[in-house]
Structure 1
Amino acid sequence: MADTGSDKVKTVLRVVSGNFLEMYDFFLFGIFAREISETFFPSDDPYASLMATFLSFAAGFAMRPIGALVLGPYIDRIGRRQGLLVTLAIMACGTILIAFVPGYATIGVIAPVLVVLGRLLQGFSAGVELGGVSVYLSEMATPGNKGFYVSWQSASQQVAVVFAALLGFAIANLMAPEAISEWGWRIPFFIGCAIVPFLYMIRRSLQETKEFAARKVHPTTSQIFATLAADWYLVLGGVAMVIMTTVSFYLITIYTPTFGRRVLNLTESQVLLATMAIAVSNFIWLPISGAVSDRIGRKPILVGFTVLALLTAYPALAWLVREPSFGKMLAVELWLSLIYAWYNGAMVVALTELIPASVRTSGFSLAYSLATTLGGSSLLISTWLIQHTGDKAAPGYWMSFAALCGLIATLALYRRPAGGVQYAAPGNAIGG
């Protein structure tokens, strides 16, 4: 029996549920970076304390390639559904650690060690979560609508950003700063722990994708690695394409609260309102971009919006920092949101099409996770750039570099046949 529209919507919601938890936790780390630094990485130098927090944030991204290499072949071999359950369980362990570990003042050096361990667990699971979700959505999509379906992987993250920002806004306005620093920042993490059982229940009801279930032969782990090695140019090109997405996303969402408070001297409420507006903007533009890419192709969108980023990222930030205001910050961030969302809406589905079907989860996850080790370090890199150049608009240079990577990769990959080498028939091109 054919799936109804209602069935498709329910399936999409089940698939992206874990995506919500991942981005919810990551964004909370950005909102409460100052409080986390004071709790787990205390120092006489606020800059050193904040950098230590951002290093622990970046440590999770360093684990992503390992997660992709370990869990990616498992999902390509065992199935999409089982893989999504495993990643959710590992992610939940990391969330629980960060929520409940006592501070440095209570248990000493064990506190930051356990927090870093929680970030490593989150990074390990996230290394394949995005790939697993994107591949599942691409394989369940109706003909001619793959871009629209896959775009909901990223759109679900925007819901998490809005939810986290609303909680942050409420806490900032209802609690005293001393109470927030002492224990109030933990409340959203406790809420994340509380919704884990619900997310697990709805993911358990997922069925295996018909495309995966119809395959007669599934590759072994060694065959998957051999295929990835043969298609190294696809993985490398995918990394360069994803860098544009991860850098721009983390700059306009995760880094915005810190940038707005420390660099622009705006209030907590102002930066959180701006962040919520960015997430709403992303949520609107992402599925539109995915749907348009289904009609006109992926390449025109990818090329057009990387060029826009190259031309405008630094000038926009330079205009903002000359005379900072809430209105100017909102305008600049919404412009960068437009660029990110249109590029990402076409890029994610493009990557699922470029990677061979037999290793789709492994290849996608490896490319995405390698790129995210750089993109996820945007908080650290941006803070360092501003500190060492004295230029408050310096994060614009970082986004411009990422856009250049995306442009070069797009032009290079779309000169080659899509798909790459299948493990069962080396040298044979496979469509997405």
Structure 2
Amino acid sequence: MASHPDHDQGGSRASTVLRVTSGNFLEMFDFFAFGFYATYIAKAFFPSESDVAALMLTFMTFGAGFLMRPLGAVLLGAYVDRVGRRKGLIVTLSIMAAGTILIALVPDYASIGLVAPVLVLIGRLLQGFSAGVELGGVSVYLAELAPPGRQGFYVAWQSGSQQVAIMAAAAIGYALNRLLMPAEMGAWGWRIPFLIGCLLVPFLFYIRRSLQETSAFRARKVHPPVGAVLRTLARNWRIVWLGMLMVAMTTIAFYAITVYTPTFGKNVLRLSDTDSLIVTFCVAVSNLFWLPVMGALSDRIGRRPILLLFSGLTLVTAYPALAWLVAHPSFETMLAVLLWLSFLYGGYNGAMVVALTEIVPPEVRTAGFSLAYSLATALFGGMTPLIATWLIAETGNKAAPGLWLALGGACGLLATLIIYRRRASDLPAPVTSAPLASAPVTPART
């Protein structure tokens, strides 16, 4: 019987989880830094007579990276399903690191003109291409690593690592705001978090290279070529589409309460940078608590009831919560509202990510998961800062982003009802860490 990756080299499951989620940490650390320092980045690379226009251009660049995710999901996802989880995770980290280094070191517009925003855009595209399969690769690895009946708890740490990254980035931002003057932050201080991300790259490569291949992947006798993976994805387009709708809820909520929160607090509610950072830090702590708790609960009572409950609550409470915040803008109100939204996000996502690994056919698990997740992020979540900014500008309603959050809840609710309406026997086999049968698996059909 093939050994578990956590037993190889005498390592523990906990250390393996840490190593495999390291790339998620780097990705979200940089994404959060980009969102929080969007106003500084706008002035450095997108000079404009209108601050709103410059900010919109910055968020368009931020969102452009998400448009690359589906391409990365298909190409890199098929590669991972062909060559293995470990090799794929090393490749995605390499591409992500290249984008991070580029953004950190590009001179501003005043120094090199139009070349500056073009290079920043290239950096975001590289990050997006890599991230297209990073989440899927990590989630599938954790699902195949987990002991039977504990997949929800283990896979939740994929999202958990992102919350640690947000906490780290928020703490660094808080320290910079205390140590540097506003002019220094605008001139060069905003680059410090990105440079810290660059310094982490060698360490992340070191710990990720020590990963072992999962026993579930090694036990499979047939590893389809890229063309076969793509054909299987095409045959299972309904699962990918429904998975995309399911992910829409979590990705809209996540980017709203983390990446967009600092901008919302500063530019819309006129709260201080410090207040916005403290709220974001508390949100990340809350997320980190609820994700594994709800993942473990879904192992006990099933994915469906949790997905229905939290998507439904998001649909009916997101806009009223933001309307209350806008009517009473204060640090205390913002903290209360964002912690509520964090509870909704953490509850839903704790069950959603593992559910997505279970509904995708095993032989295209990484590519199918990644494509569904990437499409949702590109069309919904990654555009959340841009859409929220546009909604407020067009409607004059500062609570309008709550409507976008409610739409995410509706998507998650609809997808859950359709997916779990079918009998359990109609769904693909759950992810298992035990060796699989030697015969090739017939692609699941919807």
- What TM bracket, shorter-length normalisation? over 0.9
Read off the aligned partner of 1:224 and give its amino acid letter: V
What corresponds to 2:63 in structure 1? Answer: 58
Query: What do the CA deviations read for 1:190-249 (whole angstroms, capped 9, x no partner)?
Result: 110001000000000000000001111111112111111111110000000000000000
Query: What do the CA deviations read for 1:398-424 (whole angstroms, capped 9, x no partner)?
Result: 01011101100001011232129xx95
What corresponds to 1:397 in structure 2? Answer: 403
**Cα distance in structure 1, aligned partners of 2:443 and 2:269:** 54
Q: Structure 1 427/352 Cα, relative in aligned 2: closer, same or farther at 3 Å? A: closer
Alpha-carbon deviation of 1:429?
A: 6.8
What corresponds to 1:407 in structure 2? Answer: 413
What corresponds to 1:76 in structure 2? Answer: 81
What corresponds to 2:149 in structure 1? Answer: 144
**Cα distance in structure 1, aligned partners of 2:296 and 2:408:** 24
Alpha-carbon deviation of 1:426?
A: 4.7
State which of 410, 414, 428 in structure 2 corresponds to 1:419. Answer: 428
Alpha-carbon deviation of 1:6?
A: 6.3
With the length of structure 1 as denominator, give the TM-score of the two structures: 0.97
**Cα distance in structure 1, aligned partners of 2:297 and 2:345:** 15
Q: Structure 1 112/427 Cα, relative in aligned 2: closer, same or farther at 3 Å? A: closer
% identical equivalent positions: 61
Task: Kindly indicate whether the alpha-carbon contact (under 8 Å) linking 2:69 and 2:130 is maintained by their aligned counterparts in 1.
Answer: yes
Does 2:253 align with 1:244?
no
**Cα distance in structure 1, aligned partners of 2:194 and 2:226:** 36
- Any unmatched runs of 5+ in structure 1? none
Task: Kindly indicate whether the alpha-carbon contact (under 8 Å) linking 2:20 and 2:138 is maintained by their aligned counterparts in 1.
Answer: yes
With the length of structure 2 as denominator, give the TM-score of the two structures: 0.94
Q: Structure 1 425/157 Cα, relative in aligned 2: closer, same or farther at 3 Å? A: closer
Read off the aligned partner of 1:55 and give its amino acid letter: M
What corresponds to 1:179 in structure 2? Answer: 184
Query: What do the CA deviations read for 1:165-190 (whole angstroms, capped 9, x no partner)?
Result: 01111111110000100001101111
Root-mean-square deviation (CA, aligned residues, Å) is 1.6
**Cα distance in structure 2, aligned partners of 1:231 and 1:353:** 14
**Cα distance in structure 2, aligned partners of 1:216 and 1:11:** 24
Does 2:327 align with 1:322?
yes
**Cα distance in structure 1, aligned partners of 2:177 and 2:103:** 20
Alpha-carbon deviation of 1:93?
A: 0.4
Task: Kindly indicate whether the alpha-carbon contact (under 8 Å) linking 2:362 and 2:441 is maintained by their aligned counterparts in 1.
Answer: no
Read off the aligned partner of 2:111 and give its amino acid letter: T
What corresponds to 2:113 in structure 1? Answer: 108
Q: Structure 1 220/383 Cα, relative in aligned 2: closer, same or farther at 3 Å? A: same
Task: Kindly indicate whether the alpha-carbon contact (under 8 Å) linking 2:232 and 2:443 is maintained by their aligned counterparts in 1.
Answer: no
What corresponds to 2:262 in structure 1? Answer: 257
**Cα distance in structure 1, aligned partners of 2:61 and 2:253:** 20
Query: What do the CA deviations read for 1:138-182 (whole angstroms, capped 9, x no partner)?
Result: 000001100000000000000000000011111111100001000
**Cα distance in structure 1, aligned partners of 2:427 and 2:441:** 16
Does 2:215 align with 1:194?
no
Task: Kindly indicate whether the alpha-carbon contact (under 8 Å) linking 2:294 and 2:350 is maintained by their aligned counterparts in 1.
Answer: yes
What corresponds to 2:309 in structure 1? Answer: 304
Q: Structure 1 319/428 Cα, relative in aligned 2: closer, same or farther at 3 Å? A: closer
What corresponds to 2:36 in structure 1? Answer: 31
Task: Kindly indicate whether the alpha-carbon contact (under 8 Å) linking 2:236 and 2:445 is maintained by their aligned counterparts in 1.
Answer: no
What corresponds to 2:289 in structure 1? Answer: 284
What corresponds to 1:217 in structure 2? Answer: 222
Query: What do the CA deviations read for 1:239-262 (whole angstroms, capped 9, x no partner)?
Result: 000000000000000000000001
Does 2:342 align with 1:337?
yes
Does 2:375 align with 1:370?
yes
SS in 2 for 1:289: helix
- Any unmatched runs of 5+ in structure 2? 430-438
Task: Kindly indicate whether the alpha-carbon contact (under 8 Å) linking 2:37 and 2:190 is maintained by their aligned counterparts in 1.
Answer: yes
